[in-house]
Amino acid sequence: MRIVAVSAVVGLAACSPAEPEPVDLGPLPLDAWVATHLPDGESQNHAEPAVEEAKARCMAEQGFTYVPARQVEVTTADIGEPPGPARGTRAFAERYGYGVAWQLEEHPPQDEEAAEPDPSDPNEQLRQTMSETALAAWTRALVGSMDDPPSPDGPAAPVRPWEDWGCTGEALWEHGRSSLAYTDPSWLAVAAEIDAAELAVSGHDDVLAARAQWRECMAAEGFGEWPAPEDVQPAMWEELLRPFHDENGVRLPDPDLTPYAERERAAATADWDCRAEADYDARMHAARSELQADILDRLGPQLDAWLATYWAGEG
C-alpha cells in the first residue's frame, strides 16, 4: 500500500501544472535598439591599464608624476529571489507581496560604515605632500576643467567636452572612447528626448484612463491611497523600513514584520488584480513603445553618427 501511495503522489506531482510565468510584453523599442547596436559588456572603468598608462605618459610630458591606478574588483551580495512562484505572477503577490518583507528578513538593513580611502588610488599619498599651488596645477593637468563648478550664468551641472578633461580626456579618447559616449552633446540631446518621452507616458490618454480604472479598483479593495501602480511598491519599502530605526535614525532591534508583511501581501495582490482588470501593463507598454518608436524615427541618423564616433575603430 505504501508503494502505491508514493506512486500516486509522484504521479500527481508530475501532472501538476507548472507555476505560471509573468506575461512577456516583448522588448521596448529602445531596449531592442540597444541590444542590436551596442556591444555587450561595455566597460566604464576608467582604471583600465591602457587608460592609466596613457594618463601617466601625458602627465610626464607636462612635468608631473602620476602613478597608474589599478583596477579593483567590486563584489556585491547576491540577494536572490524567494523560492516558489515567479516574481510578477499573482501567486508571488499572494505569497510574498513585492518581496520586501522577505528581503528585509533575509537581509536586514545595516548601518552605513564610514567611507575609507580608495585603496585603488596610489596617488593619494603623492597629493598629500603637495602644496596648494602644486596640487592645483597637478589636478588641472590630470582632469582639466572636468570638475570645475558651473558658472553663475551657465547650466546647473554642465557636462564639459572630453577635450577639456586634460590628460584623462586624452587617455580615454585613445583607449576608452566608448566611456566618453554618454557625455557627448549629441547623446545628451537624445537622452533629453528619452526623458521627455518617459514623462509624456504618464500623460498619455490611454495610460490616464488605465490609471483611473486601476484607482477605482484599488479603492474598492480598501487601498485608495496611491494615485498610480508605480507608487505602491516604493510605499511598501518605506513602510517596512520604518520600524528598523527610531525617529533619530538610530538602528533598533530587528522588528516583527508579520503585520507589515500581511499588509504588503494584501496590497500587492489587489494591485495585481487591478492591473489585470485595467490591462494596465499592456496599455503602459503600448504607450511607451509608441513614444520611443517616434524618437528612433526622428533621431536615427543622429544615433548612427554617435555610434560611428565612439565605437568604430576604437583604439
Pairwise pLDDT comparison (9 vs 33), residue with the higher score: 33
- Among residues 139, 166, 181, the one where a domain terminates is 181
pTM score, two decimals?
0.75
- Among residues 152, 181, 210, the one where a domain terminates is 181
Pairwise pLDDT comparison (49 vs 220), residue with the higher score: 220
Is the domain of 168 the same as that of 210?
A: no
Tens-digit pLDDT profile for residues 163-218: 888 999 999 988 888 888 888 888 888 899 999 999 999 999 999 999 999 999 99
Does some domain include residue 199?
yes
Tens-digit pLDDT profile for residues 21-71: 677 899 999 999 988 888 764 444 555 889 999 999 999 999 999 999 887
Per the structure, how many domains does the chain have? 2
Tens-digit pLDDT profile for residues 274-312: 999 999 999 999 999 999 999 999 999 999 999 888 877
Residue that the C-alpha cell 501602480 belongs to: 229
- Give exposure, 293-309, as e/b (b: 16+ Cβ within 10 Å): bebeeebeeebeebeeb
Does some domain include residue 274?
yes
Tens-digit pLDDT profile for residues 125-139: 889 999 999 999 999
Is the domain of 177 the same as that of 207?
A: no
Distance, CA of 15 to CA of 11 (rounded, Å) = 6
Distance, CA of 159 to CA of 178 (rounded, Å) = 16
- Among residues 181, 198, 227, the one where a domain terminates is 181
Is the domain of 177 the same as that of 225?
A: no
Average pLDDT over residues 246-268: 95
